[in-house]
Structure 1
């Protein structure tokens, strides 16, 4: 079935009490259950659907879109662990099954993992595979320092954050160079620092050429670049500063002093903001 795991526009062939039957390219039909119909559809209408298999491994169409299609990656959370595998939340009523044999490491309920959606050719159903390295390629030698890339944050180690780059390469953001909170599953623009000999990539969050500051100042600057303004100043309550930035008031004052001296921020009566003139 060529539509399995993909988004397709399929025509309505007929209606039953169970829903609408859509025509597949093979000539067969797939059910779009009644709950996914708006009530104003007619035979011949094209419906955009995702096709997968239900709990009894029967093909079914839904109008929802999962977090990853066939041959795509996503960071998914484990909802249930069994003796034969794990079930992960991929945004559909039926969770995505990852067999034990396809796990890169053991999975626990609540943990998040980089998953690629694949077809199990023995059962002809969609499964998840966490052995991502089977699908990773060495980055091409022509990748140059400073190149902007699309990254998916998928794991945290003692060294830093592992990143899936352009859905096919592996990179690393070093922990001592990250001054903001990153979430697993977050997509970010990252910048190439260096291509290593093994084809993996050293990455950074900042575009090349931007001056780096002391860790506290860098954290404040990163937040300001996201928000534009922070309602914190040298008269703010120490607990308020700690709750928002995770630093002491003394460290905060030193950091904003460094940024003010570099003309990166302006001081407002009720906070600090980026200096738009730099």
Structure 2
């Protein structure tokens, strides 16, 4: 099934003076202009093309890769503001519209914004800076340790909000981020857990994640062996922590921080206590 605003594999049906017509099945013939057709293209050959509407709202194909596709988020620059909305550069000849109704704040020419791309009710490819309107509409299904692609959205009191796989909201906690992150920055991260509200806890380092997971299990086991109490906090000496668990103070702080967020322990001045012990 063909999809507007995405890459589709189509077959070359015929050649004309100004380009090639591709077999769009129920959509009819779709023009691939000469200036974006690969050299040596032949009738019957299959080709991956991006489908969009040209300046006259006619369906057209291109081999050029836009900076954003339908269902994706990207940071794009506004190149013009008009009476119908703002236009951003998405790497194609026809610029991408952000309607006024889809602007979280009025977009300004020259600035860059995180935008979500979708097909509206008029069958136009448009973008929106109202990310909450379009993200987190499906239940996130991830397992701890899964590798995901993220885009940094904004810094908060607890860390950074991030967009996970163009679909969901996630959080990188500040005690697990050891360098400044920029809005729009793309990187890979690892799932820690999906919370009851559907939001996702993330971690940037896979090794750190595995070590923390193993250490949380060791701490829980030690608590159970000691009647639910342990005289080690995030303020205990590195030597005492290493003597007990054989890990650094930083790793121990991360582990008990995870247990605290999961409401499995309470942290007091004198130590940690297992919940419901």
Normalising by structure 2, we get a TM-score of 0.64
Q: CA deviation at 1:170?
A: 0.9
Identify unmatched segments of 5+ residues in structure 1.
212-261, 263-278
Question: Equivalences for 1:150-189 in 2 at 5 Å?
Answer: 150-159=148-157, 160-175=159-174, 177-189=176-188
Q: CA deviation at 1:132?
A: 1.9
Question: Equivalences for 1:76-95 in 2 at 5 Å?
Answer: 76-95=76-95
Give the Cα separation in 1 of the matches to 2:148 and 2:78.
25
- 1:26 aligned counterpart, secondary structure: helix
The answer as to 2:212 corresponding to 1:203 is: no
Q: CA deviation at 1:205?
A: 2.5
- Cα pair 1:113 1:155 within 8 Å, conserved: no
Aligned residues: 210
Give the Cα separation in 2 of the matches to 1:98 and 1:81.
9
Deviations 1:138-166 (A, max 9, x none): 8969867x634424224223434320123
The answer as to 2:58 corresponding to 1:58 is: yes
- 1:208 aligned counterpart, secondary structure: helix
Q: CA deviation at 1:8?
A: 1.5
Give the Cα separation in 1 of the matches to 2:210 and 2:46.
50
Question: Equivalences for 1:1-278 in 2 at 5 Å?
Answer: 2-26=2-26, 28-122=28-122, 124-137=123-136, 147-159=145-157, 160-175=159-174, 177-192=176-191, 195-206=194-205, 207-208=208-209
**Structure 1 residues 10 and 173 mapped into 2: Cα distance closer, same or farther (>3 Å)?**
same
Normalising by structure 1, we get a TM-score of 0.64
- 1:133 aligned counterpart, secondary structure: helix
Identify unmatched segments of 5+ residues in structure 2.
213-247, 249-277
- Cα pair 1:152 1:185 within 8 Å, conserved: no
